[in-house]
Amino acid sequence: MTDTAETDAVLADWRAKAQEFETRVARVVLGQNRVIRLVTIAIFARGHVLLEGDVGVGKTTLLRAVARALGGAFSRIEGTVDLMPSDLLYHTYLADDGRPRVEPGPVLRHAEDLSIFFFNEINRARPQVHSLLLRLMAERSVTAFDREYSFPALQVFADRNLVEREETFELPAAARDRFLMEISMKTPADAGARRALIFDPRFHDVDRLLDEIGKPVFDYRALGSVAELIQNRVHASETLEAYVAALWDALLDPHAAGVALPNVEMRGLVRGGASPRGLAFLVRAARVRAWLEGRDALTPEDIREIFLETMAHRIFVDPIYAMRGDDIVRDLCRAAFATVPAP
């Protein structure tokens, strides 16, 4: 068997596992098939994820289900205004004998076995905490107790509180840019799924529900090497590369590219964020999407399918228009697709 044939066989085997992963997670997280597909793409692209959605839509259940199906350990922390960076690493307390004790915190508790770390309401934490999280995300390592801990399989998920403004700290541009995707998780649109979530007792006991995931589908420690195989195997044609470059130009200078939005002055609208790293993340995620669809070549549809989730959260517009919220960036992305002809 040739090296290419061996690679194709390995990737086909992992694609079957990825499909099984999605099926198992979908059994316990109803009506969120697109969210599950995007999370799967992020896992195989080895990228961190921002989650956005109302309270109670099932974000924690989704991540606990993902951790069960992946293998490895799941840990979480709640963002609060008085949270300190050290709270991620360890906590101190007085034991029953009255003597102080130091125990590992949510990041160090599982050490190298930590596969999913969920930072709930990240924008309630101060910038000092964001800084430590950025190192953890970028380098997958932290220093504590005079030694360095590494987390080779770690994937960070973070949720932003977008409803309340008091005692919140907006993530700086550099921090948002480190996340591969921002995935919006909403209440299921399917009427049957909505009724089941309300009336079926199966969904009222989350711990018992998660037991239905069964044994892990993956060896999560192998994801890094599989992700590298995917990126090397799925190729982009010169035409596709030119298409992505044209989309980039349209985001950098929408006025020059002929992109228009109603009642918006397009000159100087985009202040930053459509960076080389952002576009590289876009292509990385699109390659995983193509692989999951059984192809070894990128198509415009792969780009379109993950464009909003990979680009919208990292584009920053003139403060006058930023007051409108995230909608204008999403409208800009859609207008760029409508203006730039697809190959």
Mean pLDDT for the stretch of residues 57-77: 90
* Band (343; pLDDT cuts 50, 70, 90): confident
**Quick one: pLDDT at residue 143?**
87
Q: Which residues of 26-50 are buried (b: 16+ CB within 10 A; e: fewer)?
A: bebbbbbeebbbbbbbbbbbbbbbb
- Mean pLDDT is lowest, of 70-74, 90-94, 162-166, 233-237, for 162-166
Query: What pLDDT, in 10s, does the model give residues 200-224?
Result: 999 899 999 999 999 999 888 999 9
Query: What pLDDT, in 10s, does the model give residues 222-237?
Result: 999 999 999 999 999 9
Query: What pLDDT, in 10s, does the model give residues 254-267?
Result: 999 999 888 888 88
Contact 303, 247 (CB under 8 A): yes
Give DSSP secondary structure letters for 7-42. Answer: HHHHHHHHHHHHHHHHHHHHHHSTT-HHHHHHHHHH
Which amino acid is present at 178?
Answer: R
Average pLDDT, the chain: 89
Mean pLDDT for the stretch of residues 60-80: 90
Percentage of the chain exceeding pLDDT 70:
97
pLDDT at 2 over 70: no
Contact 37, 181 (CB under 8 A): no
**Quick one: pLDDT at residue 325?**
67
d(C-alpha 305, C-alpha 298), whole Å: 12
Q: Tell me which residue has tokens 């963002």.
A: 79
- Residue 255, token pair as written in the block: 């006025």
Contact 117, 67 (CB under 8 A): no
188 closest CA partner among 197, 200, 180 = 197
**Quick one: pLDDT at residue 8?**
87
pLDDT at 3 over 80: no
Query: What pLDDT, in 10s, does the model give residues 185-197?
Result: 989 888 998 999 9
Query: What pLDDT, in 10s, does the model give residues 80-138?
Result: 889 998 899 988 888 888 888 888 899 998 888 899 999 988 888 888 898 888 888 98
**Quick one: pLDDT at residue 165?**
66
**Quick one: pLDDT at residue 209?**
92
Query: What pLDDT, in 10s, does the model give residues 295-321?
Result: 999 999 999 999 999 999 888 888 887
Cα distances (angstroms) measured from residue 211 to each of 25, 85, 183 = 11, 33, 25
**Quick one: pLDDT at residue 327?**
83
SS3 helix, strand, coil % of the chain, rounded to 5?
50, 15, 35
d(C-alpha 65, C-alpha 116), whole Å: 10
Judged by DSSP in three states, 281 sits in: helix
**Quick one: pLDDT at residue 166?**
67
d(C-alpha 188, C-alpha 209), whole Å: 18
d(C-alpha 221, C-alpha 254), whole Å: 42
Judged on CB neighbours under 10 Å (0-12, 13-18, 19+), 215 is exposed
* Band (168; pLDDT cuts 50, 70, 90): confident
Judged by DSSP in three states, 317 sits in: strand
pLDDT at 152 over 70: yes
Contact 178, 134 (CB under 8 A): yes
Mean pLDDT for the stretch of residues 161-182: 78
Backbone angles phi, psi at 272, to 5 degrees: 160, 175
Cα distances (angstroms) measured from residue 240 to each of 84, 131, 181, 248, 274 = 45, 36, 21, 12, 18
